[in-house]
């Protein structure tokens, strides 16, 4: 596993658990959780980064060696997402950006078409784009065509902790899309993350399930271990399921039979 490196967006990443930074009870708990997870990538909403105010700056609590990927949380259309991405880059956040465009206030489902528009513009400007999207194969192919560095399909609605309700659709993307597939949103248990990795996802992004756990630091460690276990199982080659039983030991010849 030590040589299992994810080459993505011009960076080499060994830990395939990406962690979001919202909903933690304090920045100190967030920092300890990121450290326990061994996170190398953390997503941060631009509106929580304000170096000019008297409030604490979240970036001061990102562990050394953890790369910050801004997201366009709050954008309701492509133009807003583009503006947020440009502001983040101008503020020194680098060229990675997670594109979130959400107009639906009830289920918080991504607007795939506006996300595609924003992705196309930002890729042309040199950004490494990570679009958060509903798992649709045709749209994912369009994301690939405009130059996205990965696609980030939701497992279930943001913050729902319902697990991988879109599993079959995500699995289609894994088989058909030639860029990394990173499941984002809805993962509620470490076993959900393990499931994603077993099916061949390149990584997962987890926030709520860690941040609101009774012990966020312990949960971060549990998710990290689950991601590693799932990835190891995928690389080992999972056996195909069968509708019939198959004995693991011979059923005859172990007792003396009188003739």
Domain boundaries, the chain: 13-230
Strands 182-184 and 96-99: unpaired
Structural tokens at position 50: 């304000």
Sign of CA dihedral 33, 39, 43, 46: positive
SS3 58: helix
Catalytic one of 89, 98, 117, 128: 98
Element (H, E) at 131: strand 128-133
Question: In this structure, are residues 71 and 45 in contact, taking their beta carbons and an 8 Å threshold?
Answer: yes
Vertex 120 angle, CA 144 and 21, to 5°: 85
Q: Is 98 a catalytic residue?
A: yes
Tell me the C-alpha distance between 202 and 114, whole Å. 24
Tell me the C-alpha distance between 47 and 45, whole Å. 5
Structural tokens at position 29: 């708990």
Q: Name the CATH code of domain 13-230 (choices 3.20.20.70, 1.10.1060.10, 3.40.50.300, 3.30.360.10).
A: 3.20.20.70
Per the DSSP assignment, residues forming a β-bridge with 42 are 19, 68
pLDDT in tens, the chain (259 residues): 567 899 999 999 999 999 999 999 999 999 999 999 999 999 999 765 555 555 678 989 999 999 999 999 999 999 999 999 999 999 888 899 999 999 998 999 999 999 999 999 999 999 999 999 999 999 999 999 999 999 999 999 999 999 999 999 999 999 999 999 999 999 999 999 999 999 999 999 999 999 999 999 999 999 999 999 999 999 999 888 777 787 777 766 665 655 5
Question: In this structure, are residues 227 and 19 in contact, taking their beta carbons and an 8 Å threshold?
Answer: no
Tell me the C-alpha distance between 193 and 231, whole Å. 10
Tell me the C-alpha distance between 59 and 150, whole Å. 24
């Amino acid at each position: 596993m030590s040589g299992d490196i994810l080459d993505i967006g011009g960076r080499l990443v060994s830990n395939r658990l990406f962690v979001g930074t919202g909903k933690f009870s304090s920045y100190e708990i967030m920092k300890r959780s990121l450290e326990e997870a061994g996170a190398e990538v953390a997503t941060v909403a631009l509106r929580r980064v304000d170096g000019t105010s008297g409030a604490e700056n979240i970036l001061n609590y990102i562990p050394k060696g953890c790369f910050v990927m801004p997201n366009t949380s709050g954008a309701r259309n492509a133009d807003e997402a583009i503006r947020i991405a440009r502001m983040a880059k101008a503020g020194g956040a680098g060229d990675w950006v997670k594109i979130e465009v959400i107009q639906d206030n009830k289920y918080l489902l991504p607007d795939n078409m506006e996300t595609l528009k924003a992705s196309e513009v930002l890729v042309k400007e040199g950004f490494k784009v990570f679009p958060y999207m509903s798992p649709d194969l045709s749209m994912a192919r369009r994301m690939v065509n405009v130059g996205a560095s990965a696609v980030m399909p939701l497992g279930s609605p943001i913050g729902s902790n319902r697990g991988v309700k879109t599993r079959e659709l995500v699995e289609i993307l894994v088989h058909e899309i030639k860029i990394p597939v990173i499941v984002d949103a809805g993962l509620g248990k470490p076993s959900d993350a393990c499931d994603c990795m077993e099916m061949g996802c390149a990584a997962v992004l987890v926030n709520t399930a860690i941040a609101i756990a009774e012990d966020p630091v312990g949960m971060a460690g549990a998710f990290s271990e689950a991601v590693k276990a799932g990835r190891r199982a995928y690389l080992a080659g999972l056996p195909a399921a069968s509708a019939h039983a198959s004995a693991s030991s011979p059923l005859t010849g172990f007792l003396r039979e009188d003739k």
